[in-house]
């Protein structure tokens, strides 16, 4: 038994009833790209809606003329399928319409006036899915199949229609999200209309925000924001989660990709080089300090990946939602342009995958922090295995990467916290390297490691005592005496105390 509802009349009738319950004078038809907003306006234009040219929305005279024409001809609504981004504010101030103005938008402008027919309203019912399938393919769907297709496409009009058109052309498609996104037409739609426009929002464009899904979170880049209690809040389309920017949607041209050398220890520095050019590369200049902060957070995170919540907490602490919404995506856009080589670059160095932002793993990222932590992890393995010589080599390699404090010159709370932890790890590896090198008979490395600790904390007596032992092992009693005298002066000048009794006892033992 078919559950098909006549298409598109059932879809239009359902939404028409919703519109009749809204007052206006402006009604925003807000939903996913390809949700059926323009289809609704086109169908209404055949009966009782007068379409308004986008130019008429830029000044009040044009809109007034259109309203007068609509009244003369007995139309119930005015409507525009593609309203301009920058509608003059005085238009809404001066509106004294006795019939609503319907504006179809993929993104809801901030501070809007009027009523909203939100994203949830556009999701097709199972009956409407069956009606669309029948209209396009000529074949009926059983109730279970109609529901399966509704689930596979999240009730999203355009992907479902494209799947039906493929079926009509003899391409069999199963009601599975992965099967739908594998269709070239659907993949192209998701890339060019659903994802691509939101990867680089311009300064004057309305900016989308994340809608909390009741089922599975989808990419924030193509999401919407409504109060959690709003009945129009839809599940985030699963197709968007599957169609995030990836090599399948953004194929690389050629095998060579840019190399980014990232220095986070000491004065931060990022150099981009093109292997084909064979040059030393060019240091990146950051258009915003905050865009570099976003980059540094991602470069420092596991797998160079972080959620929006983590990024917001680090970069916009104690800021209200309006400020975050106004600044997050512009900051992200600046970062993409800085890394990609400017406006218009085809490179996508920052992706949105699986609910998180990530530095594109398909590019080459040489991050000193990653290598530093990698050597410390390898050192831990060698320590457990009892391989002292290999352990020493990893500690040396980590030491060589520490050119100074983490993100020197930055003082954001998240930076300071991470800096302190890394500094403790740095001092710990120096102490261990000093001890192991001494035991292995490499007195020069041991002395260098201990001296590096004293640069950070010259009052650490355990390290001072270790240096006394190194000088004694070298047969340099003169240096033992000089080092001990220096320690005594330092403690007296800085703290007004003498060395610990055990330090003095060790000194006398070494000098005996």
**pLDDT 10s digits, 332-359:** 888 988 998 654 455 778 887 656 788 9
Q: What is the pLDDT of residue 320?
A: 86
- What confidence tier does 207 reach under pLDDT thresholds 50, 70, 90? very low
More confident residue, 391 or 203: 391
- What confidence tier does 23 reach under pLDDT thresholds 50, 70, 90? confident
State in words which class domain 286-362 has: mainly alpha
Question: For the chain, which residues make up each domain, given as ranges?
Answer: 1-243, 286-362, 458-512
Q: Mean pLDDT, to the nearest integer, of 146-155?
A: 90
pLDDT at 446 > cutoff 80:
yes
The set of residues, in sequence order, having a beta carbon less than 8 Å from that of 120 and lying 6+ positions away, is 230, 231, 232, 233, 234
Report, in angstroms and rounded to the nearest whole number, the Rg of the chain calculated over CA atoms.
33
Q: Which of 61-70, 255-264, 481-490 has the highest mean pLDDT?
A: 481-490
Q: What pTM value is reported for the model? A: 0.55
- What confidence tier does 276 reach under pLDDT thresholds 50, 70, 90? low
Q: What is the pLDDT of residue 70?
A: 81
Q: Give the span between the Cα atoms of 294 and 299, in whole angstroms.
A: 9
Q: What is the pLDDT of residue 184?
A: 83
More confident residue, 82 or 49: 49
Q: Which of 181-190, 205-214, 335-344, 390-399 has the highest mean pLDDT?
A: 390-399
More confident residue, 160 or 222: 160
pLDDT tens for 68-111 read 888 888 888 888 888 876 565 555 555 555 678 888 987 777 65
Phi/psi at 78 (5° precision):
-100, 150
Q: Mean pLDDT, to the nearest integer, of 389-409?
A: 96
Flag the least confident range among 4-8, 113-117, 191-195, 470-474. Answer: 191-195
- What confidence tier does 242 reach under pLDDT thresholds 50, 70, 90? low
Q: Mean pLDDT, to the nearest integer, of 39-63?
A: 83
Q: What is the pLDDT of residue 118?
A: 83
- Output DSSP code: residue 59: S
Q: Mean pLDDT, to the nearest integer, of 419-437?
A: 96
More confident residue, 357 or 484: 484
Q: What is the pLDDT of residue 211?
A: 30
Instruction: Determine if residue 16 is left, alpha or beta; phi over 0 gives left, psi from -120 to 50 gives alpha, anything else beta.
Output: alpha
- What confidence tier does 360 reach under pLDDT thresholds 50, 70, 90? confident
Q: What is the pLDDT of residue 182?
A: 84
Q: What is the pLDDT of residue 406?
A: 97
Q: What integer best gives the mean pLDDT of the chain?
A: 82
Q: What is the pLDDT of residue 66?
A: 80
pLDDT at 451 > cutoff 60:
yes
pLDDT at 210 > cutoff 50:
no
Q: What is the pLDDT of residue 247?
A: 38
Q: What is the pLDDT of residue 344?
A: 47
pLDDT tens for 289-331 read 999 999 999 999 998 999 888 999 999 998 888 888 788 888 8
Phi/psi at 9 (5° precision):
-60, -35
Q: What is the pLDDT of residue 111?
A: 59
Nearest to residue 242, comparing CAs of 272, 268, 218, 212? Answer: 218
Q: Give the span between the Cα atoms of 463 and 402, in whole angstroms.
A: 20
Flag the least confident range among 9-13, 55-59, 292-296, 342-346. Answer: 342-346
Q: What is the pLDDT of residue 88?
A: 54
Q: What is the pLDDT of residue 422?
A: 96
pLDDT at 246 > cutoff 50:
no
Q: Mean pLDDT, to the nearest integer, of 121-136?
A: 93
pLDDT at 476 > cutoff 90:
yes
Q: Mean pLDDT, to the nearest integer, of 38-62?
A: 84
Looking up tokens 């990653």, which residue turns up? Answer: 370
SS3 of residue 358 by DSSP: strand
Contacts 24+ apart (CB under 8 A), 174-182: 175/145, 175/148, 175/149, 175/151, 176/152, 177/152, 177/153, 177/238, 177/239, 177/242, 178/242, 179/152, 180/152, 180/153, 180/239, 181/239, 181/242, 181/243
Q: What is the pLDDT of residue 342?
A: 57
pLDDT at 268 > cutoff 60:
yes
pLDDT at 163 > cutoff 90:
yes
pLDDT at 284 > cutoff 90:
yes
Q: Please state, for a pLDDT cut of 90, what percent of the chain lies above it.
A: 49
Q: What is the pLDDT of residue 56?
A: 73
Beta-bridge partners for 365: 260
């Amino acid at each position: 038994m078919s559950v098909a509802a006549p298409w598109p009349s059932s879809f239009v009738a359902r939404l028409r009833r919703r519109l009749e319950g809204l007052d206006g004078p402006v009604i925003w038809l807000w939903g996913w790209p390809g949700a059926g907003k323009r289809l609704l306006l086109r169908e209404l234009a055949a009966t009782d809606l007068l379409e308004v040219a986008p130019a008429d929305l830029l000044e009040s005279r044009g809109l007034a003329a259109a309203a007068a024409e609509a009244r003369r001809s007995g139309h119930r609504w005015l409507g525009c399928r593609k309203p301009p981004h920058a509608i003059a504010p005085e238009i809404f101030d001066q509106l004294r319409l006795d019939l609503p103005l319907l504006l179809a938008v993929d993104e809801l402008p901030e501070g809007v006036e009027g009523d909203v027919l939100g994203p949830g309203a556009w999701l097709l019912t199972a009956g409407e899915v069956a009606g669309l399938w029948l209209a396009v393919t000529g074949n009926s769907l059983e109730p279970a199949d109609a529901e399966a297709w509704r689930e596979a496409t999240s009730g999203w009009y355009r992907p479902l229609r494209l799947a039906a058109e493929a079926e009509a052309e003899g391409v069999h498609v199963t009601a599975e999200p992965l099967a739908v996104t594998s269709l070239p037409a659907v993949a192209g739609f998701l890339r060019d209309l659903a994802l691509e426009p939101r990867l680089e929002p311009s300064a004057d464009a309305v900016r989308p925000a994340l809608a909390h899904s009741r089922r599975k979170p989808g990419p924030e880049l193509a999401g919407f924001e409504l109060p959690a209690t709003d009945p129009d809040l839809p599940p985030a389309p699963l197709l968007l989660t599957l169609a995030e920017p990836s090599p399948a949607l953004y194929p690389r041209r050629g095998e060579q990709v840019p190399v980014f050398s990232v220095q986070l220890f000491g004065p931060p520095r990022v150099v981009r080089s093109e292997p084909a050019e064979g040059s030393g590369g060019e240091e990146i200049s950051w258009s915003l300090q905050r865009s570099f902060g976003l980059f540094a957070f991602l470069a420092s995170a596991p797998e160079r990946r972080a959620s929006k919540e983590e990024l917001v907490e680090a970069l916009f602490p104690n800021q209200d939602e309006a400020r975050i919404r106004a600044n997050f995506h512009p900051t992200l856009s600046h970062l993409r342009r800085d890394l990609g080589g400017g406006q218009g670059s085809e490179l996508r160095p920052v992706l949105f995958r699986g609910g998180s932002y990530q530095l594109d793993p398909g590019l080459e990222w040489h991050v000193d922090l990653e290598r530093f932590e990698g050597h410390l992890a390898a050192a831990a393995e060698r320590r457990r295995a009892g391989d002292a010589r290999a352990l020493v080599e990893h500690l040396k390699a980590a030491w060589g990467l520490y050119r100074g404090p983490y993100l020197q010159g930055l003082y954001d709370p998240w930076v300071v916290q991470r800096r302190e932890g890394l500094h403790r790890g740095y001092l710990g590896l120096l102490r261990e390297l000093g001890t192991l090198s001494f035991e292995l008979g490499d007195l020069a490395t041991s002395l260098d490691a201990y001296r590096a600790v004293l640069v950070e904390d010259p009052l650490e007596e355990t390290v001072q005592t270790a240096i006394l032992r190194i000088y004694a092992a070298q047969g340099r009693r003169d240096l033992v005496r000089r080092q001990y005298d220096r320690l005594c002066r330092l403690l007296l000048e800085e703290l007004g105390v003498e060395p610990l009794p055990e330090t003095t006892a060790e000194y006398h033992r070494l000098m005996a």
